[in-house]
Amino acid sequence: MSTLISRKLLKLPKLLIYIILGASLLLNAFLLKQKSPADSVKVLGVIDGDTLVLAGKVRLRLRHIDAPELQFCGGQEAKTELEKMVSGKSVRIEEKIMDQQGRPMALVYQGSTLINQSMLESGWVRYHSDLTSRTDEIQAVADQAKAEHLGIYSPSCYQKENPDNPKCNIKGNIDKSTKVKKYYLPNCAQYNFTIVEKDIGEDWFCTEKEAQAAGFSRAETCK
């Protein structure tokens, strides 16, 4: 059969032969790429809201985002959100780098969807400053989620008053840059402006002793 086809091709003008062979090669390349994309990898599991386990048991963090620890407010919700987007699916990895701890991190696409951006749109993760080709649009959707009080910015995690027990009104606050833990009593100068962000481990306490046991010390602005 192949010999017969070859003989027929020889009878055709050379230009037409080149066109047919070129089209065949392009078609084969397209079908091969569709069947098994060279730049895709399967997601085996999700550790939390910003970390995947890829084929080969490789862990990969998503750039631009920080998810709550699983024990904190929003932690389980962030993990569930990410699982819905990628578990068992093939994803494309782009702009991969190593973080300060030597862990790989990247922009992750599922089809045409940028997972990093979709997670920030959900409101269940925080924006982490980073420099990629998508920085501006990613930061914009993160700001929008916060403005709309979604996810961790909803009253369930982001609180000025204690909705569960108003009598427990001591605010435990963690400095985001130094990680120093302070607590604020109602008579503290900054009390009214202090927000309890439960997704990063801040919390309400009923007594000073309880706050101190959790590793918080009284703020200097308290009387």
Is 10 part of a structural domain of the chain? Answer: no
pLDDT above 90: percentage of residues in the chain? 79
Question: Active site includes 61?
Answer: yes
Question: Which tokens sit at 64?
Answer: 């631009």
| pLDDT value of position 14 | 58
Cα distance between residue 76 and residue 69, in whole Å: 8
- From the candidates 7, 59, 61, 148, give the one annotated as an active-site residue: 61
DSSP state of 106: E
State the residue for tokens 């895709």: 40
Is 164 part of a structural domain of the chain? Answer: yes
Residue 132 burial (10 A CB sphere; 0-12, 13-18, 19+): middle
Cα distance between residue 138 and residue 209, in whole Å: 42
- Average pLDDT of span 46-64: 97
| pLDDT value of position 223 | 75
Question: Which tokens sit at 40?
Answer: 């895709």
pTM equals 0.80
| pLDDT value of position 19 | 60
| pLDDT value of position 68 | 98
Cα distance between residue 125 and residue 110, in whole Å: 18
Cα distance between residue 167 and residue 126, in whole Å: 29
Is 29 part of a structural domain of the chain? Answer: no
pLDDT value at 10 more than 60: no
Residue 83 burial (10 A CB sphere; 0-12, 13-18, 19+): middle
> How many domains are there within the chain?
2
pLDDT value at 5 more than 50: no
Alpha helices (runs of H) in 37-159, residue ranges in sequence order: 75-86, 115-122, 135-147
Q: Which structural domain, as residue segments, surrounds residue 142?
A: 40-153
- From the candidates 103, 137, 148, 161, give the one annotated as an active-site residue: 103
Instruction: Indicate if 188 and 98 belong to the same structural domain.
Output: no
Q: Greater confidence, 59 or 35?
A: 59
Residue range 188-213, pLDDT digits in tens: 999 999 999 999 999 999 999 999 99
pLDDT grade for 16, boundaries at 50, 70 and 90: low
- From the candidates 69, 94, 95, 210, give the one annotated as an active-site residue: 69
**Residue 117 to residues 25, 62, 107, 134, 204, Cα–Cα distance (Å):** 37, 10, 9, 9, 31
Taking the CA atoms of residue 106, residue 54, residue 152 and residue 70 in that order, the dihedral angle to the nearest 10 degrees is -130
Which one of 107, 124, 153 terminates a domain? 153
Instruction: Indicate if 63 and 116 belong to the same structural domain.
Output: yes
Is 4 part of a structural domain of the chain? Answer: no
pLDDT grade for 35, boundaries at 50, 70 and 90: very low
Question: Active site includes 103?
Answer: yes
Cα distance between residue 157 and residue 196, in whole Å: 8
The answer to whether 219 and 183 are in contact (CB under 8 A) is yes
Question: Active site includes 63?
Answer: no
Is 148 part of a structural domain of the chain? Answer: yes
pLDDT value at 91 more than 50: yes
Instruction: Indicate if 71 and 149 belong to the same structural domain.
Output: yes
| pLDDT value of position 221 | 86
The answer to whether 124 and 81 are in contact (CB under 8 A) is yes
Residue range 132-186, pLDDT digits in tens: 999 999 999 999 999 999 999 999 999 999 999 999 999 999 999 999 999 999 9
All residues at 6 or more sequence positions from 155 whose CB lies less than 8 Å from its CB, including other chains: 149, 163
